[in-house]
Amino acid sequence: MRANCSSGSACPANSSAEELPAGLKAYGNLELVFTVVSALMISLLMFSLGCSVEVEKLWGHIRRPWGIAVGLLCQFGLMPLIAYLLIISFSLKPLQAMAVLIMGCCPGGAVSNIFTFWVDGDMDLSISMTTCSTVAALGMMPLCLYLYTLPWNLEQNLTIPYQNIGITLVCLIIPVAFGIYVNYRWPKQSKIILKIGAIAGGLLFLVIAVAGMVLMKGSWNSDIILLMISFIFPLIGHVIGFLLALLTHQSWQRCRTISLETGTQNVQMCFTMLQLSFTAEQLVQILNFTLAYGLFQILNGFLMVAAYKMYKRRLKNKHGNEKPGCQARHRKKSTSPKEAIAFLEVNEEAPVSPGPSGPKDLHGAPTPTNGISRA
């Protein structure tokens, strides 16, 4: 599915910067800076998140990849299907339809790992799902795009960003491996690194959200349908992923993890693929969808984290209010047998005085010992 670059003027990769519209030049410079900065930041974040990964649990997910299989089914089975259904439901134009479909076929992004940590999800499963989906994207992205675009008459071929996929894998695997090693050798220091990484990830997401809002400042009124899709698309992915994980009898922790992994796509990979496959004039029409999707999936993630924290605090307060009563009832139940035993021991020892021939009653008559033992 690689574009034919025999003619330099027709190939978007060979188009010069002078042919770009004025509105896209800023995006081009910003995309270069964003690529370098995001690669460094993602590497640092994945290193800090790798400090929470345990080798035994990670190996357990690899030996029994049931959770990973459910995540891959959501990522490359449900998300492209949801994108196709949204295209049909909103009757999108061909160019807009391609942007939505490409986003649905992209693998999971590293953003989901940060949100999984904040909702107390399974970090071992989250990182393994992100890595496996990125590796599977080498074959699943071309396959999904071919199947869903088969009835369409495309004017140009789509270019799969294999180089971008490779860079993503490097930014995932190597920092996580270092983080796992640090957690194995220095577990106390790894907890500190993990907290610092979580705070840095939150600040990075806020910066990305603000930058996305600034870039989309003048385009809120245009392409309102694409903006609506960019908002509901990740939400549908979160809900469908959670329900499928629940139907496959996954734990609540894994359900939260699979839900976040399903609705979170690699936006940078989608942007690279659009840039390689379409001309500059076409990019202007669909670039806002990519930015809006990245913005809304971060905002949706923050909403899910806030809802989970509120639920967790409410559950904690509820148990805190019931705890004193439970302790009192438990104390009464636990101390009453001891008090009864002590009372019986005192009453038993008071009238009994051992003698040479056995215990005696108050009148001095000998009493059989067997009767007392039975009593």
The closest of 133, 108, 125, 130 to 250, measured between CA atoms, is 125
pLDDT at 351 over 60: no
Residue 365 pLDDT? 47
**For the segment 64-97, what is each residue's pLDDT rounded down to a tens digit?**
888 889 989 999 999 999 999 999 999 888 888 9
What tokens were used for 166?
Answer: 């490779």
pLDDT at 320 over 80: no
Residue 212 pLDDT? 63
**For the segment 136-156, what is each residue's pLDDT rounded down to a tens digit?**
999 999 999 989 988 887 666
**Burial label, 183 (beta-carbon count in 10 A; 0-12, 13-18, 19+):** buried
Which residues, in sequence order, are bridge partners of residue 335?
none
Domain map (residue ranges) of the chain:
31-209+250-312
Report the alpha-carbon angle 102-140-171, nearest 5: 80
Residue 258 pLDDT? 92
What tokens were used for 319?
Answer: 């148990």
**One CATH from 3.40.50.720, 3.40.50.170, 1.20.1530.20, 3.40.50.1100 for 31-209+250-312:** 1.20.1530.20
**For the segment 257-266, what is each residue's pLDDT rounded down to a tens digit?**
999 999 888 8
pLDDT category, 341, cuts 50, 70, 90?
Answer: very low
**Burial label, 172 (beta-carbon count in 10 A; 0-12, 13-18, 19+):** buried
Q: Where are the alpha helices (DSSP H) in the chain?
A: 22-50, 55-63, 66-73, 79-90, 94-105, 111-118, 123-148, 162-185, 187-215, 224-247, 252-263, 267-277, 280-349, 369-374
